[in-house]
Amino acid sequence: MKHSSHDYLKFFLIILLVTITTILHFSTKQTHFYYHIVLRELYFLPILLGAFWYGKRGGLLTSLSISSLYLPFIVTHWQGLTPDDLAKSLELILFNIIALSMGMLSDSEKKREREKQKAILAMAGTIAHELNSPLQVILGGSQLLQDDFEPESTTYKELQYIINNTKTIKQTINKISHLDQFVLKKYAGDTQVFEISSK
């Protein structure tokens, strides 16, 4: 599976957010209590991004990485199960619960999208198959009719126009029948069509 530069950018952004937040945690004095609360909440951003972009696996990988980085901070500043210690410990558990639940939602949505695409592609393939037969009749009939006219005649040229356009339609239908994925693009107003690119 090939990864685009956009995928690497998303992966780098998650790492960057985790790294910066962790550095700020360890470099901020413990007496700045409210700063630490804000920084702790900032960990949710890369977790949500990881879950949204990469599903359950990406979300959990991000949350577990954050947990392993944040745990030494909790241990270092442990004060004997104070309310703050309890809050930090519960937050650590919450990181992974959020990652799991959001990752599962993301996976579910992506699965529905894949199933929708499969259904559309199957329908497109069926339509392409059904259209091929009448187009072949039109093409064959037009070519046979041409034999009754001189190449210089208007009727011959009009039949040739029909033949050329029928061949163009058949080529488009052939592309549709071999589609394995599609990308929607704007057409007119709010209308969307899927782009057929030649291979």
Cα–Cα dist 6/2, whole Å? 11
Q: Please check whether residues 20 and 40 belong to one and the same domain.
A: yes
Q: Please check whether residues 142 and 88 belong to one and the same domain.
A: no
Tally the C-alpha atoms within 13 A of residue 57's C-alpha that lie toward its C-beta.
1
Q: Please check whether residues 90 and 122 belong to one and the same domain.
A: no
Q: Which of 81, 109, 137 is the last residue of a domain?
A: 109
Q: Which of 109, 132, 155 is the last residue of a domain?
A: 109
Q: Please check whether residues 100 and 158 belong to one and the same domain.
A: no
Q: Please check whether residues 58 and 126 belong to one and the same domain.
A: no
Residue span of the structural domain in which 31 resides:
5-109
Q: Please check whether residues 66 and 142 belong to one and the same domain.
A: no
pTM: 0.66
Cβ atoms of residues 99 and 59 within 8 Å: yes
Q: Please check whether residues 32 and 97 belong to one and the same domain.
A: yes
pLDDT digits (tens, 9 = 90+) for 65-97: 999 988 887 777 777 777 777 777 888 889 999
Q: Please check whether residues 153 and 178 belong to one and the same domain.
A: yes
**Strand ranges (DSSP E) for the chain?**
183-186, 192-195
Q: Please check whether residues 119 and 39 belong to one and the same domain.
A: no
Residues of the chain with pLDDT under 70: 1-4, 181-199
pLDDT digits (tens, 9 = 90+) for 163-175: 999 999 888 888 8
Cα–Cα dist 72/186, whole Å? 50
Q: Please check whether residues 32 and 101 belong to one and the same domain.
A: yes
| Apex 195 CA angle, 182 and 122, nearest 5 | 40
